[in-house]
Structure formats: C-alpha cells, structure tokens
Structure 1
C-alpha cells in the first residue's frame, strides 16, 4: 500500500471508528442514533442559514489548524494557539474601534494587527526555545492564561469604562458581507473564509516551494544535521513559531472582525485554539487535509446544536465523537498495522 493511500486511509478510518463507537455509546445510553444523525445533518445542511453558519465555523478552525500544523511540520508543538487567537482577536477589534479610516485602509490594518499580535505572542515561546531550550509546550500553554487575563483586564480598563464588552467595530473594519449574508438567509458568514483559504495556499507555498520552507522542515527533522549543514537553527525555530502565531492571530481576527464584531470580557477560553490541535491531527498536518478536517468539525459543531431540539440527544455527544476521532488518529499505529496486514494478505492471495 502506497504512503499516499495510507495517509488518506488513516483519517477516514479514524472518523468511521469514531462514528461507530459513538453510535454504540448512544445505543447503550438509550438514545436513537438514526434520529441523532438525522438531526445532526439537518442542523448543518437542512437550511441555507445553517450552511452559512457551517462555513463561518470552518473559517477559524482552518486557521487554528494551520497554526498547529505549521509548527508541528517544523518540529515544534504550539499548544498556545488559543492564547495567540485571543490576543489576535483583541488587537484586531482594538484597531477597529480606535481608528476612523477608509475601509481600504482600515480593514487590512485591523487584519494585520491581529496577525501581528498572534505572531508576537508566539515569539516568546519561540525565543525561549531557541535561546534557552525551554520547552515550547510549557511556555505556550502558560501564555494561554496570560493572554486570557491580560485581555480581560484591557477590555475592562482600557478599551471600555468597566464594561464587559467593547462597542461594535465600524463597517470600515468589518469582514461582514451583505451579499454573503443575503444568500445564506442572513447567517453570519463573512469574507474571512477567503482569507483562511489564502492562508492554506500560503502555508503550502512556504513549506513546499521556498528555500526557507525547506530549512524549516529540515530543522524539524534533525536540528543537529541542519546546523552542520550551515542552517541557523535558532532563527528558524523563532520564525516557525512566529508564522504559526500569525495564523492563530488571524483565527481570532476572523471572530473579532467577522463573526462577532466586538471583543468581550471572556469568562473562559473560546476552545477554537484547542480544536485546532484536533483539526491538524485529523488533517495529517497537511494544508488540504486541514481544510477537510475543519469542514468535518464545523459540520459536527453546528449540526450538534440541533440534536437536543430534534432528537432529544445532548449535543455533548458530538464532543464525545470528536474525542473518539482524535483518539483513533492518535492511535494510528494500530490502524497502520491493520492496513499493512490487509495489504500483505491481498498480495499473498495475488501470488497464489
């Protein structure tokens, strides 16, 4: 069996196993799986409005998945995507409400501010990893909490006068589209999906078509060999985290300038950054795979909202299915052995 087929087979089998085990759990706990999956489908594709919401949900998931995958492809595990997303959201809305500019300047400036904030937040664990060999997982996960509480403080004491949320950004800084909203029955779909897809292309171009991308991947495979070959390992570690953080900051920007158009004093994390880890895993850290994984997760998360209403099944059941899918992806060693044995058996039969 070729590597390409194996790479495609493992995520597909993981999804199927997740759905099968989820079905068994529903049967054991007394729910009707057929009604649950019908409600799930109707909640995602039953109306044009829901389709718009699915695509809207896919947008930040793609960017969060790219953030995790880019770092992982270069040998780093950026588990701080959630924090980078939060500061990107804050920075984008801050620029949105603080300036009065023409849209052709205001919107790009706000988008770039969100990307820059995420990149700056990721620079810290990247620098500490490169300079002092402090593990990026520890630093980045701790910076999630710093991002949450610092942003809450700034919202209440700088952007507003003790209020829980900012005012809405003006139209000149908004990604909202009357056209997209009207064709999806006034959903919150916005132009951010085009930015997300452009970032998919950017990641592919960087990693597959540039010398710097080759260096980043080489450092991820073997730092000692890369250094021996004359590559600046420390600089590439920092650059990898900065690019990863920029993708994460853009994920927050999509929420701040597109979905909500404000930033609030958050009681907790958004969860999108952590979902990005699952999206990257299911998408095998490849740009195209991430698009399909984000589409699946967007479908599940939006469709799940209809399950309690139509089938009486708690929407947490979808979270269980997602967790099972991630579990089977993480345990792909077992699936690989099964596929290899299947391939060997077929070849033996062919010889006979």
Structure 2
C-alpha cells in the first residue's frame, strides 16, 4: 500500500473523526449498562452544551482552558519534546497572574491589569519550563521525567504559598483574597451588550478571544518563521538539524519557553476571568488533558481548537447529564478516557483499513470510463 497515494486529509481529519465516533459508540454501551438510553443521553449532553446561550458559554469557557494547555503541548511536540508539565506551568503561570491582580488590580482598571497579567503569567509559566528544558538540552535528562517532577514541586509550592503567605487572616480556606473588581476580565455577555447584543450570563470572558489569537500565533510561528522551521527540523531529525547548523540547545530551550508561556496563560481564563482569586488546585487536570487535546488535534492549531471544543462539550454536557439523570459526574472522566484511548493509544488502529478503503474507492473512480470515452 503506497502511503504517498493517500491524501493528508485522510489521516489528519477523517481518521480522528472515525476514532471519536468509535469512542462514542463504545460510550453508548456504557450508557446502556447503566440503564440510560444512549440517544437520550446524547441529546441531553448536546442541549446542555450548545442548546442554550448559558450552556454554550460554559462550553466555550472550558474550551478556552483546553486551547492554552493543548497549544502548549503541541508546540513542544513539534520539537520532539513530550511536555508533561503543562499542569505545573499553568499553576505557576496562574500564580503570576494572581499576584498581578492582587497588587496592580487595586489601582488600575482591567485593561491595564490584563496586559501586565498576560506578560507576567507567560513569564512565570516559561520560567517553570526553563529548568526542565535546560536539563534536557545540556544534561540529557528526559523531559518527561523532569516536567512530571516539576508538577509536584509546583503543587507543593502553591500549597505552601496559599497556607502561609497568600491566605487572608481569620480564614481556613486555602485561597487568596478576592481580586479587586476593577481587575476582573469582562465577560463576553457584557462585551456583547455594548453592541446591543443580549446574551445570557456565563463564565465565558475576554480570554477566549486571546486564546483564538494564540492559535493564529502558533500557526504563524511554527509554519511561517525561521524559528518554527528549526523547531520542526529538530523534531523530525535532531542529528540532521545539527548537521545543518541548527543549534539544538537553543531550539530545545526556546520551544519549552514558548510551551510554558502558553500554559501560563491558562490563569487568565480561570483566575482573572472567573474565580477572581487564587485557589488550591485551580488547574483541575486541564494541563494533563491538554496532552490528549494536542494528540487529537495532530499538533495543529485548528485541530487543537476543535479538540478543545470537543472536551469542552464533554465537560459541560457531562455536567448536564449528571444533573438530568443523577449519574456520577465521574462518568465524564470515563467518556474522556474513551476518547483519549481511541484517539491516542489506539489512534492508528483503523488506519490500514481506512487507507485500503480509500485507495480502492479512488481506483474504482479512476477506472470508471467517462461518457465521452464510451461514446
């Protein structure tokens, strides 16, 4: 079977769609097992996620977080790096954003606080990725091991800071004080109301627009800049890239800094946009789910955006399903696991059959005589 004859869209678009479909079919068996009609469950999830403005707002709110962590993993993948540290980088990036909101937010409006928080959050996330990047580039320490270790360090550091330093007096809750209202990011329904468009209130905020801009930035950077070409060259063949004059150490560090920066932006959506205070475990596994988002999206910004939307649908639709049928909310974790299983570990299971079917259909089409030829 000649892979060259199979168009890229077959493996880049059609294969992931089939994998997701199979995951949903297996999920249907799960719903049958717990005495829930799969069709009714699908309708409930769809209506909960997209059937009304508030639900759609929550879906896009979750999508925003997945875009940041998914892009972070995708950028690292292009350099051949498996960045497992998105969770810790998002955590520390959120710390930087929270510090800005707790300090500058008392004196400046959101349109001043937002760009400062954006820069500081990105710097904090990049700084947390720097040490694993340096160890990988200079010492040969595997990036997977070091980034996992830094996740635990970030968790311990945040617990200490929230208990000993950032926690207000006379409270036992492991959270900072609430940010000044002037530092809060405007919600999308508030922005739309300025233009005379009425929307139901939801957590969806201005950071969603910034997340879309990040998708454009990553696309331009990876595929339309010299640095992006060097990153992809190192990811494809480090030895050949070094022979061509590309500095391996520089590219590894640069890639991880950008990856950590993107993960650090996560706090803009969750902290400055919704929670308005630093809370323990505010990342809630989004950093790890970003790995699945990047794998499903084939490390392309458009794919990451679509995969993020899918996981946003699962989060919000699963919450509606839990409310409607009283099922355990962990059912959403099971659904995510099935999607990850078929789109990650088993992503190539249907590839030979799909390519064979496409080549057969293509050959039949090419062998069909035209009306002009018959005549």
How high is the TM-score relative to the length of structure 1?
0.94
Tell me the residue number matched to 1:169.
179
Tell me the residue number matched to 2:140.
133
Tell me the residue number matched to 2:348.
333
**Bigger shift: 152-161 or 225-234?**
152-161
Deviation at 1:274, TM superposition (A): 0.9
Tell me the residue number matched to 1:290.
304
Deviation at 1:197, TM superposition (A): 0.6
Tell me if the contact between 1:18 and 1:324 (Cα under 8 Å) persists in the aligned partners: yes
Tell me if the contact between 2:314 and 2:335 (Cα under 8 Å) persists in the aligned partners: no
Q: Which runs of 5+ in 2 are unaligned?
A: 1-5, 369-375
Deviation at 1:344, TM superposition (A): 3.1
Q: What do the CA deviations read for 1:62-120 (whole angstroms, capped 9, x no partner)?
A: 01100000000111010000000111111101111122343343221112111111000
Tell me the residue number matched to 2:67.
62
> Rg larger in 1 or in 2?
2
Any residues of structure 2 matched to 1:188-199 within 5 Å, and which?
188-199=203-214
Aligned equivalents of 1:13 and 1:321: distance in 2? 16
Tell me the residue number matched to 1:235.
250
| 1:31 counterpart (33, 36, 39) | 36
| 1:95 counterpart (100, 107, 110) | 100
Deviation at 1:312, TM superposition (A): 3.8
Any residues of structure 2 matched to 1:272-287 within 5 Å, and which?
272-287=286-301
Tell me if the contact between 1:39 and 1:311 (Cα under 8 Å) persists in the aligned partners: no
For the pair 1:122 / 2:136, whether they are aligned, the reply is no
Tell me if the contact between 2:122 and 2:262 (Cα under 8 Å) persists in the aligned partners: yes
Tell me if the contact between 1:23 and 1:33 (Cα under 8 Å) persists in the aligned partners: yes
Tell me if the contact between 1:22 and 1:317 (Cα under 8 Å) persists in the aligned partners: no
Q: What do the CA deviations read for 1:44-77 (whole angstroms, capped 9, x no partner)?
A: 1232111111111111110110000000011101
Tell me the residue number matched to 1:265.
280
For the pair 1:346 / 2:361, whether they are aligned, the reply is yes
| 2:236 counterpart (187, 199, 221) | 221
Aligned equivalents of 1:348 and 1:94: distance in 2? 62
Tell me if the contact between 2:76 and 2:83 (Cα under 8 Å) persists in the aligned partners: yes
Tell me if the contact between 2:75 and 2:259 (Cα under 8 Å) persists in the aligned partners: yes
Q: Could you say what the CA RMSD is over the residues aligned between the two structures, in angstroms?
A: 1.8
| 1:310 counterpart (316, 324, 345) | 324
Aligned length: 351
Tell me if the contact between 1:116 and 1:246 (Cα under 8 Å) persists in the aligned partners: yes
Q: What do the CA deviations read for 1:107-159 (whole angstroms, capped 9, x no partner)?
A: 21112111111000011110100010100000001111110110111122222
Tell me the residue number matched to 2:190.
179
How high is the TM-score relative to the length of structure 2?
0.89
